[in-house]
């Protein structure tokens, strides 16, 4: 994959994920939308960041000079991470995805551990299991926060760039590898909250007010405080999502239930040589 490919890859992944969302739409849910312009711009920035730091982990598949698929993977310390993986809907099921994933996995050959946030697409689940990953079902908390239930988050504060070292050390303790250079991109584009007390540390990125994107902590109490603070930052009446909760993170379900959200199952956390991280809510792109 080259920088010139980024715009086309963004469009093809947007189409592939719209197709998955349409196929998995729950009764009564709003129709899914193609990735909007502001999120598409963020997507392109993330892809350019991956090309800068992990060029050998980024691959495209082309057929008759037209891009039909892509895989973007990262290496952080001893961990390999799949950040994006998609084939155009009309080209799926023909073995293109297998070849893309095999090539991306070669980039992670020196890494013991691996992590993928899998969509609910059965093709993706087949590919990851066939590649030796353990599949851990995930849940989302979804709905409108009952604001009268919100506790006052006394120990949570806004982060500064001085907190990046703390974040990397919490990453190592929870998922086994720091986010390293990814924290720079994350902190530049998103609000970051921190708990830093002797009895518990942690951090959380918010994609927008109320939208928790990535959360890691050394104790469940610190994790729950961060999640409550993240939910509290949203606007009254707006629907929110607590994403990517594995069974190892019941504390997040307690917060979701306490906030009046519904719990739904969606996708898998696919892991190699590691247990589901906790207390931890992975992001889809930087994991």
Can you give the binding site for ligand COA, defined by CB under 6 A? 16-17, 20, 85-87, 92-98, 118-119, 121-124, 126-127, 130
Q: Which is nearer to ligand COA, 16 or 252 (CB)?
A: 16
- Buried b / exposed e over 208-230, threshold 16 CB at 10 Å, is eebbbbbbbbbbbbbbbbbbbbb
- Residue 15 or 208: which CB sits closer to ligand COA? 15
Least Å distance, CB 99 to ligand COA, is 7
Question: Which two tokens mark 8?
Answer: 């086309």
Yes or no: say if 87 and 69 are a contact pair by the CB < 8 Å rule.
yes
**Beta bridge partners of residue 60, listed in sequence order:** 70
Closer residue to ligand COA in complex, CB, 54/163 = 54
DSSP code of residue 119: -
User: What's the order of all strands across the beta sheet hosting 79-87?
Assistant: 58-63, 66-76, 79-87, 113-118, 262-272, 134-144, 239-246
Tell me which residue has its CB nearest to ligand COA: 97
- Nearer to ligand COA by Cβ, of 70 and 255: the residue is 70
- Least separation in angstroms between residue 87's CB and ligand COA is 4
Query: How many CA atoms does the CB half-sphere of 212 hold within 13 Å?
Result: 32
In the complex with ligand COA, the residue whose CB is nearer, 117 or 255, is 117
Q: CB 155 → ligand COA: shortest distance, Å? A: 35
What is the smallest separation between the CB atom of 6 and ligand COA, expressed in angstroms?
Answer: 18
Residue 16 or 217 with smaller CB distance to ligand COA: 16
> CA–CA separation, 140 vs 244, rounded Å?
6
Longest pairwise C-alpha distance within the chain: 59
Shortest distance in whole angstroms from residue 98 CB to ligand COA: 3
The full DSSP string for 241-260 is EEEEEETT-HHHHHHHHHTT
Smallest gap from residue 10 Cβ to ligand COA (A) = 14
User: Which stretches within the chain are classed as H helix?
Assistant: 6-23, 37-54, 96-107, 122-130, 164-174, 181-189, 220-232, 250-258
Burial letters 83-111, b for 16+ CB under 10 A, else e: bbbbbbeebbeeebbeebbeebbebbeeb
**CB 218 to ligand COA: min, Å:** 28
Q: Which is nearer to ligand COA, 119 or 233 (CB)?
A: 119
C-alpha span between 246 and 275 (Å, rounded): 11
| Smallest separation (angstroms) from ligand COA to the CB of 134 | 15
Residue number, 69 or 210, with CB nearest to ligand COA: 69
48 in Cβ contact with 83 (< 8 Å): no
């Amino acid at each position: 994959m080259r920088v010139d490919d980024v715009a086309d890859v963004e469009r093809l992944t947007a189409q592939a994920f719209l197709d998955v969302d349409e196929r998995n739409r729950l009764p009564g849910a709003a129709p899914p939308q193609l990735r909007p312009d502001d999120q598409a711009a963020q997507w392109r920035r993330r892809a350019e960041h991956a090309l800068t730091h992990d060029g050998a982990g980024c691959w495209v598949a082309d057929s008759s000079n037209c891009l039909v698929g892509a895989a973007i993977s990262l290496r952080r310390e001893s961990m390999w991470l799949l950040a994006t993986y998609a084939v155009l809907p009309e080209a799926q099921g023909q073995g293109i995805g297998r070849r893309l994933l095999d090539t991306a996995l070669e980039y992670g050959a020196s890494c013991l551990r691996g992590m993928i946030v899998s969509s609910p697409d059965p093709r993706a689940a087949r590919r990851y299991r066939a590649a030796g990953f353990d599949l851990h079902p995930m849940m989302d908390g979804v709905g409108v926060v009952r604001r009268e239930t919100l506790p006052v988050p006394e120990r949570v504060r806004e982060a500064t760039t001085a907190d990046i070292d703390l974040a990397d050390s919490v990453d190592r303790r929870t998922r086994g590898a720091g986010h390293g250079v990814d924290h720079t991109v994350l902190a530049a584009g998103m609000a970051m909250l921190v708990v830093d007390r002797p009895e518990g540390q942690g951090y959380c990125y918010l994609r927008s007010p109320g939208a928790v994107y990535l959360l890691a902590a050394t104790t469940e109490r610190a994790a729950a405080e961060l999640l409550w603070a993240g939910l509290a930052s949203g606007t009254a009446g707006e629907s929110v999502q607590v994403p990517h909760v594995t069974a190892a993170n019941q504390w997040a379900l307690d917060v979701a239930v306490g906030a009046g959200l519904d719990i739904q199952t969606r996708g898998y956390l696919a892991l190699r040589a590691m247990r589901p991280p906790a207390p931890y809510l992975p992001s889809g792109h930087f994991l």
